[in-house]
Amino acid sequence: MEVKKIFLPESELPRQWYNILADMPTPMEPPLHPGTGQPVGPDDLAPIFPMALIEQEVSQERYIDIPEEILEKYLFWRPTPLYRAYNLEKYLETPAKIYFKNEGVSPAGSHKPNTALAQAYYNKISGTKRITTETGAGQWGSALSMCCALFGLECKVFMVRISYNQKPYRRIMMETWGANCVASPSSETKAGQTILAQNPDSPGSLGIAISEAVEAAVMDENSKYSLGSVLNHVMLHQTVNGLECQKQMAIAGDYPDVLIGCAGGGSNFAGHVFPFVRDKINGKDMDVIAVEPASCPTMTRGPFAYDFGDTVQMTPLLPMHTLGHGFVPAPIHAGGLRYHGMAPIVSQLILDGLIRPEAVPQLETFQAGITFARTEGFISAPETNHAVAMVIREALKAKEEGKEKVILFNWSGHGLVDMAAYEAYMRGQLSDYALPEDEIHRALDDIASLPKPKQYTRPKI
């Protein structure tokens, strides 16, 4: 019988996180404060983050020790198993070997506790009594609630009211782990009170919930705020995944030719691939693919430039992949990047040619998710399906080429509380749209006059 799952013994749990900032061929440019134009410093962030996390945010140390208290609690679900997807390989009739890292086995069902646990710990040792955060459907909120419980911290979750009312299961998960979950807007903050005064029946929004969570942290000296995506320290904590994978692939006797992850804010992708990207920086030949939705081509089409944070274009911010501040093509908008963009480190690695971005249409992702469920059994989160779709593409490409490639991807979470999205697909309610070339050109012209980082190169279209 062939080995399906490759387990690491608990003694092999990584003792350090990997910080790719130490190895990046092009050093990152600092984020600039919108008011002063100076780099954002520790004092700017100290009201909401403990100093240990702020230090990690800017650290250049290659490896950062994982404290023993975190290791003990990582063992609740880590090391996570690495699977060989034999049934999917057989279905696709591919010579490729497909491996996937199952991050869906965490108590919260996704990769998010990898950083939630670390953030809870550093808050605990810094004297924080309560952590605040915001959440929509509750994937991040539930991960943080669980990790706060493990460290005896209070957790205050501002859950968007419409989600609070319509998605009770993750709210109940949060409450089960002891979190105080309130519908946002709430009467507990000035931000919430202002909204409720205008509209007592407001269904809320993520913007309001973030305002409430930050305000609640700033107003209480015993409280801090926690974020589950985009920032450097979040990606640092996620590298425990990729570091485990390196050991497991060695046990399997393979090394990935192709490495794949889905990229929203970038943290699950970063955690999975960064330790391997270090190998690539040092000369290893592999294809590292970040997959995003085709309808929001932040990475695949956008140039690397400064975005501007106000209407008079006076505040250069984080350099990132973008389609420009005025990019409003008809009929589709580059919506995701208008929110926060891809994590700056991931953008830089794309620019350096170490990561290859790809976009996959929505229908293809759901078809891939169903194929995966019917061959390997697991029902993926809709975001994870982007990675699955790219795996299938690469496996079929290997078949055409007659190459026995080794493909490794991050199965970042299950979709068991996301079945409505599958239902919409199976009922034929979803459709695809490709961004027209002329709209891309218009967007590039829009930012042509803006200052660029020194390493800027105009992308191919």
- Name the one range near another protein by CB under 8 A: 315-323, 348-356, 371-379, 399-407: 315-323
Q: Tell me the sheet residues that pair with 16.
A: 65
Binding mask 230-269 for another protein (x = CB under 8 A): xx---------------------------------x----
Using an 8 Å Cβ cutoff, are 144 and 119 in contact?
Answer: yes
User: Alpha helices, DSSP H only, in 23-75?
Assistant: 42-45, 51-58, 68-74
Window 99-138: residues binding another protein (CB under 8 A): 136-138
Residue 384 is a binding residue for another protein (CB under 8 A): no
Backbone angles phi, psi at 36, to 5 degrees: -95, -20
C-alpha dihedral (329, 334, 337, 338), degrees to nearest 10: 50
Q: CA-to-CA distance for 392 and 372, rounded, in angstroms? A: 9
Residue 432 is a binding residue for another protein (CB under 8 A): yes
CB of 204 to another protein, least distance (A): 9
Q: Candidates 58, 71, 105, 206: give the one binding another protein (CB under 8 A).
A: 206
Q: Give 329 or 459: the residue with its C-beta nearer to another protein.
A: 329
Q: Give 9 or 200: the residue with its C-beta nearer to another protein.
A: 200
Residue 203 is a binding residue for another protein (CB under 8 A): yes
Q: CA-to-CA distance for 373 and 396, rounded, in angstroms? A: 18
- Name the one range near another protein by CB under 8 A: 78-86, 325-333, 384-392, 396-404: 325-333
The 3-state DSSP class for residue 385 equals helix
The 3-state DSSP class for residue 3 equals coil
Q: CA-to-CA distance for 210 and 231, rounded, in angstroms? A: 15
Residue 311 is a binding residue for another protein (CB under 8 A): yes
Using an 8 Å Cβ cutoff, are 126 and 436 in contact?
Answer: no
Number of residues that bind another protein (CB under 8 A): 78
**CB burial of residue 69 (10 Å; 0-12, 13-18, 19+):** middle
∠ CA 391-25-29, rounded to 5°: 105
Q: How far is the CA of 67 from the CAs of 152, 211, 245, in angstroms?
A: 17, 31, 20
CB of 101 to another protein, least distance (A): 22
Closest listed residue to residue 266, CA positions, set 216, 313, 215, 318 = 318
Q: CA-to-CA distance for 408 and 37, rounded, in angstroms? A: 42
Closest listed residue to residue 83, CA positions, set 376, 406, 416, 325 = 376
- Tell me which H or E stretch contains 114: helix 113-125
Q: Give 381 or 398: the residue with its C-beta nearer to another protein.
A: 381
CA terminus-to-terminus distance, the chain:
48
Q: Candidates 147, 179, 182, 210: give the one binding another protein (CB under 8 A).
A: 210
Q: Give 185 or 271: the residue with its C-beta nearer to another protein.
A: 185
Q: Give 404 or 423: the residue with its C-beta nearer to another protein.
A: 423
Q: Candidates 51, 125, 251, 424: give the one binding another protein (CB under 8 A).
A: 424
Residue 429 is a binding residue for another protein (CB under 8 A): yes
User: Alpha helices, DSSP H only, in 199-321?
Assistant: 206-219, 232-252, 267-281
Window 144-163: residues binding another protein (CB under 8 A): 160, 162-163
Q: Give 45 or 71: the residue with its C-beta nearer to another protein.
A: 45
Residue 325 is a binding residue for another protein (CB under 8 A): yes
Residue 229 is a binding residue for another protein (CB under 8 A): yes
Q: Candidates 58, 105, 281, 332: give the one binding another protein (CB under 8 A).
A: 332
CB of 93 to another protein, least distance (A): 32
Residue 42 is a binding residue for another protein (CB under 8 A): no
Q: CA-to-CA distance for 441 and 224, rounded, in angstroms? A: 43
Residue 31 is a binding residue for another protein (CB under 8 A): yes
Closest listed residue to residue 111, CA positions, set 415, 412, 381 = 412
Residue 310 is a binding residue for another protein (CB under 8 A): yes
Q: Candidates 62, 130, 247, 340: give the one binding another protein (CB under 8 A).
A: 340
Residue 331 is a binding residue for another protein (CB under 8 A): yes
Residue 29 is a binding residue for another protein (CB under 8 A): no
**CB burial of residue 221 (10 Å; 0-12, 13-18, 19+):** exposed
Q: Tell me the sheet residues that pair with 71.
A: none
CB of 151 to another protein, least distance (A): 23
Window 277-306: residues binding another protein (CB under 8 A): 293, 295-296
Residue 139 is a binding residue for another protein (CB under 8 A): yes
Q: Give 98 or 227: the residue with its C-beta nearer to another protein.
A: 227
Q: Give 79 or 113: the residue with its C-beta nearer to another protein.
A: 113
Residue 322 is a binding residue for another protein (CB under 8 A): yes
Using an 8 Å Cβ cutoff, are 170 and 139 in contact?
Answer: yes
CB of 294 to another protein, least distance (A): 11
Residue 167 is a binding residue for another protein (CB under 8 A): yes
Residue 442 is a binding residue for another protein (CB under 8 A): no
